Amino acid sequence: MSVCTWSYKILKLLRRMNNFYLHGSCRADFARFEISNAKVGWVHPRVSSLLTQYPDVFIRTQDGTVTVCDNLDSYTRRSEAVDDVLQALRQEGSLICLEGWRDEKSNVMPKFGDRPLMWMERAATSVFGVKQYGVHINGYTVSGNGHVCMWLARRSYNKQTYAGLLDHVAAGSLAAGDSIKQTVVKECLEEACIPVAIAEKAQPVSTVSYTHVHDEEVFAKSLFTFDLELPMDFKPKVGDGEVQDFYLLPIDKVKELVATGEFKPNCAMVVLDFLIRHSFIDPDIDSSYQDFVTGLHQTLE
């Protein structure tokens, strides 16, 4: 694959993953979602209509903003009231995304590091357009002669999303109450049977952020990325069943695969970030270098 063709496919991926920002997108159709006068997400008109059928929990202001009622004035009260609404909508079958209910809590906050305003069922976060956070671990090896390979996982064919596509050696969403490093160690152990003593050596190196809209859902995500150099004699093992198998591939092959659609899309973005940071993409050769960097770090306002 030529540099030009490869770059074109990568730019196409980045545009798709950041389509909420594109000229002519449906962003203008979405209402702001606020809690205590803080903007935390975006809501589709149909979803707004469903939510405001529960006026004790949600109201729509004169300018169309959807907000949680002010009398729900604590983290716990908001969380429980919103969860009751989501459970009701789940029973009605009003929102397709709720069919993938996970019983996993995600904190809702204006930006990372702010005091969480409530927790929300992870499966519902996209219909509120609230920012989700996760960790992705680049597991790689370096041989004595400096040859770099990367461990990749093949997602289980039974996964609800992106079944059978390539993934990182370990990755996962940041659950309410868990720290970033705790999540890294937990996901390494659960998904790839990487011992704690090795997983703790993972180094935080970057974030990858994007905002993708599909139908009524806004996927606003920020991924904390880690590099973990694994011993040459170590082989990940399938842990919790979310992975079909693991492969150790030369970095040139990984770079080629990133542009083929074989990867879960956000994993392709994290691998692209790895390729840039480790100088496997040369700005003198690839004129799209700056566009790659910009496309990996889009933050929703």
Residue type, 60: R
pLDDT in tens, the chain (301 residues): 677 899 999 999 999 999 988 777 788 889 999 999 999 999 999 999 999 999 999 999 989 999 999 999 999 999 999 999 999 999 999 898 898 888 899 999 999 989 999 999 999 999 999 999 999 999 999 999 999 999 999 998 887 788 899 999 999 999 988 999 999 999 999 999 999 999 999 999 999 999 999 889 999 999 999 999 999 999 999 987 778 899 999 999 999 999 999 999 999 999 999 999 999 999 999 999 999 999 998 765 5
What CATH number has the domain bearing residue 214?
3.90.79.10
Q: Which amino acid is at 167?
A: D
Q: Which of 86, 104, 130 is a domain's end point?
A: 130
Tokens 């929300």 appear where? 120
Residues 6+ apart with CB under 8 A from 113: none
> Per-residue pLDDT tens for 233-289?
999 999 877 788 999 999 999 999 999 999 999 999 999 999 999 999 999 999 999
Residue 160 placed within a domain: yes
Residues 275 and 200 in one domain: yes
pLDDT, tens digit (0-9, with 9 covering 90-100), for 145-173: 999 999 999 998 887 788 899 999 999 99
Structural domain of 261 = 3-21+132-295
Closest by CA to 269, choosing from 20, 10, 19, 22, is 10
Q: Which of 185, 137, 167, 186 is closest to 242 using CA atoms?
A: 167
Q: Are 12 and 153 contained in the same domain?
A: yes
Which of 64, 95, 130 delimits the end of a domain?
130
Tally DSSP H helices, then E strands, for the chain: 9, 13
126/241 same-domain check:
no
List for the chain the helix, strand, coil content (%; round to 5): 35, 30, 40
57 with 183, same domain: the answer is no
Q: Is the same domain home to 167 and 269?
A: yes
Same domain, 150 and 123: no
What Cα–Cα distance (Å) separates residue 192 from each residue in 189, 199, 206, 242?
A: 6, 10, 22, 10
Q: Which CATH number does the domain housing residue 88 bear?
A: 3.30.750.160
